[in-house]
């Protein structure tokens, strides 16, 4: 099946009314994505196996001990709320299409190959990004992971069990990690660097350090029509000032800081809130700037809360240190693409990826496919069909090179 046909099949799954995607892990949309992937991988003759952490692996080539040094590609199928169709999904569909291209050329891998679909990459449901790769590499405690809960209080353990998984098995997977010779993730570009350079495909240098912090502002619910301003304990006030402080701190430190999720309780239009919970996402080119940014937001929100007689609790929910992708692997990929007439500029990014988490344990690399507007985590996210095809071809060349020689 061509990339265009695969894409057409995948597109309706989990699409919401406004055109964005709501493919949250362990939901019905997620199950449909997994079923689609399994069907398409099996049609290519691959053997699909879930791992202990909810990720799917579709194997091609040697089995058993022959899987040592496997060349793995893939990405994720979950989305942010009303996310674009390309983030993650492009890497998975491109991987299937690249294997199809290699098979059409009668390529037989010397090394085992696999396509991985990682779970809960966005952390949209359980709030820890790249959860599948973090569990696999042991960078999150499985007991803590099982207890993570979504906005409705459903734990990861309960959600996974309801979907037929076994949360008791969550945890580091040294056997699987030991089998990976290299991990190459293709992803839609998030940002707009490739378009002005006239390049359809780029390569990743590294990922900025980044993390998420949860801020709980607790005040006192009261009557909007009778509570005197001076008597209120309104958590909305320090929250609102914190949003502005985050913007200021980011600008002062050359960083990025975003409050994109907020829950106001109880949420009546004619009442003062009892609590406001907000999530700060902060990212910077280096850890020093990231620390300064978060420290500035913390101290501003503490001050504003005490001025408004509101209690504040700040907790880090996830953290990813800076990632430097394997230079030798990147140079090799760059050479393969250059030999085919594709110059792939090398880019740094502020977006997190499973390849970044896996890079701590195995040689990892990323290919980016041009995004003409740079917009991502939005229904406006886009890649032109011709660039998607170029991405598939680039990935096929890379896999051929890496899997074709021991």
What token pair was written down for 113? Answer: 């190959």
272 with 309: CB under 8 angstroms? no
In the chain, % helix, strand, coil (3-state, to 5) comes to 40, 25, 40
Task: Between 87 and 234, name the residue whose CB sits nearer to Mn ion.
Answer: 87
Query: What, of ligand GLV, Mn ion, none, does residue 352 touch, CB below 5 to 8 Å by kind?
Result: ligand GLV
Least distance from ligand GLV to the Cβ atom of residue 183, Å: 17
Which chain residues interact with ligand GLV by CB under 6 A?
Answer: 122, 129, 351-352
Q: Which of 194, 195, 196 is nearest to 204 (CA)?
A: 194
Report helix angle 28-43 to 3-10, nearest 10: 160
336 with 154: CB under 8 angstroms? no
Least distance from Mn ion to the Cβ atom of residue 120, Å: 11
Task: Between 109 and 211, name the residue whose CB sits nearer to ligand GLV.
Answer: 211
Using CB atoms within 10 Å of the CB of residue 307, give its burial: 0 to 12 exposed, 13 to 18 middle, 19+ buried: exposed
Least distance from ligand GLV to the Cβ atom of residue 93, Å: 17
Q: Which of 398, 403, 383, 353 is nearest to 132 (CA)?
A: 353
150 touches Mn ion (CB under 5 A): no
Which residues neighbour 104 within 8 Å (Cβ) at sequence distance 6 or greater? none
Least distance from ligand GLV to the Cβ atom of residue 351, Å: 4
Residue 201 and residue 188: Cα distance in Å, rounded?
9
* Contact window for Mn ion (CB under 5 A) among 82-90, 142-150, 157-165, 306-314: 82-90
Local structure of residue 389 (DSSP, 8 states)? H
* Contact window for Mn ion (CB under 5 A) among 81-89, 176-184, 207-215, 339-347: 81-89
Query: What, of ligand GLV, Mn ion, none, does residue 129 touch, CB below 5 to 8 Å by kind?
Result: ligand GLV
Specify the 3-state DSSP secondary structure of 300: helix
Least distance from Mn ion to the Cβ atom of residue 44, Å: 23
156 with 337: CB under 8 angstroms? no
Task: Between 122 and 173, name the residue whose CB sits nearer to ligand GLV.
Answer: 122
Task: Between 78 and 389, name the residue whose CB sits nearer to ligand GLV.
Answer: 78
- Residue by residue, DSSP assigns 121-147 as SS-TTTS-TTHHHHHHHT-S-HHHHHH
Task: Between 142 and 352, name the residue whose CB sits nearer to ligand GLV.
Answer: 352
Least distance from Mn ion to the Cβ atom of residue 187, Å: 6
Among 30, 87, 120, 389, binds Mn ion (CB under 5 A): 87
Query: What, of Mn ion, ligand GLV, none, does residue 88 touch, CB below 5 to 8 Å by kind?
Result: Mn ion
Task: Between 165 and 352, name the residue whose CB sits nearer to ligand GLV.
Answer: 352
Query: What, of ligand GLV, Mn ion, none, does residue 337 touch, CB below 5 to 8 Å by kind?
Result: none
Q: How many CB atoms lie within 10 A of CB 234?
A: 24
Residue whose Cβ sits closest to ligand GLV:
352
88 touches Mn ion (CB under 5 A): yes
Least distance from ligand GLV to the Cβ atom of residue 123, Å: 7
Q: How many CB atoms lie within 10 A of CB 116?
A: 26
């Amino acid at each position: 099946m061509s990339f265009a046909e695969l894409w057409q099949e995948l597109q309706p799954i989990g699409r919401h009314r406004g055109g964005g995607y709501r493919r949250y892990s362990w939901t019905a949309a997620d199950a449909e994505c997994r079923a689609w992937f399994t069907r398409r991988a099996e049609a290519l003759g691959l053997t699909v196996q879930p791992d202990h952490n909810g990720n799917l692996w579709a194997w091609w080539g040697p089995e058993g001990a022959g899987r040592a040094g496997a060349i793995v590609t893939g990405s994720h199928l979950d989305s942010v709320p009303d996310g674009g169709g390309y983030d993650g999904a492009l890497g998975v569909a491109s991987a299937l299409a690249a294997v199809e291209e290699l098979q059409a050329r009668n390529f037989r891998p010397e090394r085992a190959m696999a396509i991985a679909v990682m779970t809960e990459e966005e952390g949209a449901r359980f709030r820890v990004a790249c959860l599948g790769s973090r569990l696999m590499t042991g960078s999150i405690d499985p007991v803590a992971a099982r207890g993570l809960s979504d906005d409705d209080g459903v734990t990861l353990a309960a959600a996974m069990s309801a979907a037929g998984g076994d949360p008791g098995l969550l945890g580091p997977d040294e056997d699987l990690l030991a089998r990976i010779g290299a991990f190459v993730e293709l992803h839609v570009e998030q940002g707009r660097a490739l378009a002005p350079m006239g390049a359809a495909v780029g390569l990743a240098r590294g990922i900025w350090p980044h993390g998420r912090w949860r801020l709980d502002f607790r005040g006192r619910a009261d009557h909007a029509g009778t509570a005197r301003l001076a008597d209120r304990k309104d958590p909305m006030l320090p929250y609102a000032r914190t949003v502005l402080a985050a913007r200021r701190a980011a600008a002062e430190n050359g960083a990025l800081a975003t409050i994109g999720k907020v829950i106001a309780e109880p949420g009546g239009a004619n009442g003062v809130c009892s609590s406001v919970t907000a999530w700060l996402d902060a990212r910077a080119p280096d850890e020093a700037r990231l620390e300064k940014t978060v420290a500035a937001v913390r101290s501003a929100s503490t001050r504003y809360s005490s001025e408004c007689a509101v209690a504040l609790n700040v907790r880090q929910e996830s953290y990813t240190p800076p990632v430097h992708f394997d230079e030798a692997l990147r140079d090799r990929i760059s050479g393969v693409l250059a030999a085919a007439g594709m110059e792939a500029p090398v880019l740094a990014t502020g977006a997190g990826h499973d390849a970044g988490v896996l890079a701590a344990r195995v040689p990892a690399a990323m290919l980016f496919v041009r995004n003409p507007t740079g917009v991502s985590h939005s229904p406006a996210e886009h890649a032109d069909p011709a660039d998607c095809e170029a991405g598939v071809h680039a990935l096929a060349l890379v896999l051929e090179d890496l899997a074709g020689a021991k």
